[in-house]
Amino acid sequence: MSGGFFRGTSADQDTRFSNKQAKLLKSQKFAPELDHPVDMTKVKMDVIRPWIAARATELLGFEDEVLINFVYGLLDGKNVDGKKIQIQLTGFMEKNTGKFMKELWSLLLSAQKNISGVPQQFLDAKEEEQRKKKVKTKELPLAIVEQDSN
């Protein structure tokens, strides 16, 4: 064994140590929404965090703080890849991963497009809630007047 060089193969050359994530990216089916990258600097995570916690709890049937915090951590980067996140979440959520990621990514894409950084669905829901509240406050004085006249 003379000479100052390494003999054999490196881990990159050995097929036993292939990139498992790249293999999963090619073999797994993903929602079309996950093809689009999300710039997390344009998204207000404070608004999305409660949705993530509620939806993950709903899909699992119990609250899993580890999973919820793991999702938050995966979304902390500037540019995030939905397909890679789905692969990492599959061990936790199993069959519900695709559904969760499709919904989450739709919200993130919507939030990225909005100037406010809030998904349009959330804005529409808040607007509807305020409209109903306004209608209720208008009906309340009418109900009092009707009650007084009886």
Tens of pLDDT, residue by residue over 21-77, are 666 666 677 788 888 888 999 999 999 999 999 999 999 999 999 999 999 999 988
Q: What is the DSSP string of 46-68?
A: HHHHHHHHHHHHHHHSS--HHHH
Residue 37 lies in a domain: yes
As a whole number of angstroms, the distance between CA 46 and CA 75 comes to: 12
As a whole number of angstroms, the distance between CA 39 and CA 142 comes to: 49
Q: Which residue in 40, 44, 122, 116 sits closest to 85, CA to CA?
A: 40
Bridge partners of residue 79, in order along the sequence = 39
Q: Residue 63 belongs to a domain with what CATH number?
A: 1.20.1390.10
Residue 87 lies in a domain: yes
Residue 147 lies in a domain: no
Tokens of 76: 């902390």
Residue 43 backbone class (left: φ over 0; alpha: ψ -120 to 50; beta: rest): beta
Range of 92's domain? 32-118
Residue 70 lies in a domain: yes
Question: Cα angle at 71 between 65 and 74, to 5 degrees?
Answer: 140
Tokens of 92: 């936790």
pTM assigned to the model: 0.72
pLDDT digits (tens, 9 = 90+) for 94-146: 899 889 999 999 999 999 999 888 888 888 888 898 888 888 777 766 656 56
Q: Residue with structure tokens 């306004």? A: 134
Residue 21 lies in a domain: no
**Structural domain count of the chain:** 1
